[in-house]
């Protein structure tokens, strides 16, 4: 099985041919006739198309010249281009749907608690280890983190809500944007809390992981100056803070981000989720109300 960097390259290669012209350079070394998909995983349409054309080439190898092979690859991939554009449109629709779900979830929390501490941490894998960490292992790390969120132990005591979104960038590789929402009466130091959580991620991944903490005071300066800071302590009675928090959180599921989809994933794997807003477990809420929001996948609808 190829590593994720190789899959990203194949995905991009097919996209370039699907939207390019026949004059675009195509080298025989770009082709892997022995390439096959693993039935344990789901793949992007671009990778599916690549596998199809490689199988067809394999069956025609003895009868097709190098020039004819290039023509065949171009024509087949371009004939399947709509599959890629349809899938991309589906990603965008699901991201919009997820934005609405996330906004509802955060609004419920912000309406209930007088103050909440918003901590943004992006979990990733160091470049030199990305070839070692496949989607299965990465999801395993995130499952451990999710269990800690649910247990609310250690660094996660006082956690009142969370949201996450798994993405895959060309350079950054697999990563997970995470928003952790703590009770503002129990925690006040957002950056310190983010550092502790980041250190736990490093330990969990045996030093293969890295993270970016948006609550770094230096990083927050530009948002403070533009009056758009949406992390740190958010007070319910401050409409500007609430507005900024809701706006900043939308980055987790931004339909305008391009080529951040997973190229390879596990069947039925969710790529976006939130905690549950179960009112019977929260102080000061009418027991008759029992609304909750589950995680929605930006890819499970496709």
State the pLDDT at residue 294: 36
State the pLDDT at residue 289: 34
State the pLDDT at residue 5: 87
Instruction: Encode the chain (302 residues) as per-residue pLDDT tens digits.
Output: 788 888 998 999 999 999 886 555 666 556 776 788 999 999 999 999 999 988 888 776 655 666 677 788 888 999 999 999 999 999 999 999 999 999 999 999 999 999 999 999 999 999 999 999 999 999 999 999 999 999 998 889 999 999 999 999 988 999 999 999 999 999 999 999 999 999 999 999 999 999 999 999 999 999 999 999 999 999 999 999 999 999 999 999 887 777 899 999 999 999 999 998 765 555 544 333 333 333 333 343 33
State the pLDDT at residue 21: 62
pTM of the model: 0.87
State the pLDDT at residue 257: 79
State the pLDDT at residue 286: 39
Three-state SS annotation for the chain: CCCHHHHHHHHHHHHHHHHCCCCCCCCHHHCCCCCCCCCCCEECHHHHHHHHHHHHHHHHCCCCCHHHHHHHHHHHHHHCHHHHHHHHHHHHHHHHHHHHHHHHHHHHHHHHCCEEEEEEEEEEECHHHCCCCCHHHHHHHHHHHHHHHHHCCHHHCCEEEEEEEEEEECCCEEEEEEEEEEECCCCCCHHHHHHHHHHHHHHHCCCCEEEEECCCHHHHHHHHHCCCCCCEEEECCCHHHHHHHHHHHHHHHCCCCCCCCCCEECCCCCCEEECCCCHHHCCCCCCCCCCCCCCCCCCCCC
State the pLDDT at residue 26: 61
Contact 248, 256 (CB under 8 A): no
């Amino acid at each position: 099985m190829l590593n994720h960097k190789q899959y990203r390259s194949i995905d991009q290669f097919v996209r370039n041919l699907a939207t390019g012209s026949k004059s675009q350079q195509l080298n025989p070394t770009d082709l892997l006739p022995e390439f096959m998909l693993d039935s344990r995983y789901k793949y992007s349409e671009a990778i599916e198309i690549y596998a199809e054309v490689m199988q067809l080439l394999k069956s025609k190898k003895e009868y097709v010249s190098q020039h004819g092979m290039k023509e065949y690859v171009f024509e087949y991939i371009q004939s399947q281009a709509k599959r890629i554009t349809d899938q991309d449109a589906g990603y965008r629709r699901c991201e919009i749907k997820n934005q609405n779900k996330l906004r509802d979830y955060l609004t419920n929390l912000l309406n209930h608690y007088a103050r909440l501490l918003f901590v943004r941490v992006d979990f990733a894998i160091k470049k030199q280890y990305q070839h070692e960490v496949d989607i299965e292992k990465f999801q395993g790390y995130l499952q451990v983190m999710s269990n800690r969120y649910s247990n609310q132990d250690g660094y996660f005591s006082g956690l009142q809500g969370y949201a996450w979104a798994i993405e895959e960038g060309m350079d950054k590789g697999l990563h997970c944007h995470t928003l952790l929402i703590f009770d503002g009466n129990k925690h006040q130091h957002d950056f310190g809390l983010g550092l502790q959580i980041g250190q736990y991620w490093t330990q969990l991944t045996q030093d293969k992981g890295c993270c970016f903490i948006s609550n770094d005071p230096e990083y927050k300066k530009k948002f403070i100056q533009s009056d758009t800071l949406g992390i740190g302590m958010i007070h319910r009675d401050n409409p500007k803070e609430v507005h900024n928090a809701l706006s900043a959180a939308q980055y987790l599921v931004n339909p305008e981000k391009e080529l951040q989809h997973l190229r390879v994933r596990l069947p039925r794997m969710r790529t976006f989720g939130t905690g549950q807003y179960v009112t019977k477990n929260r102080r000061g809420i009418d027991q008759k109300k029992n609304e909750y929001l589950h995680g929605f996948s930006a890819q499970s609808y496709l």
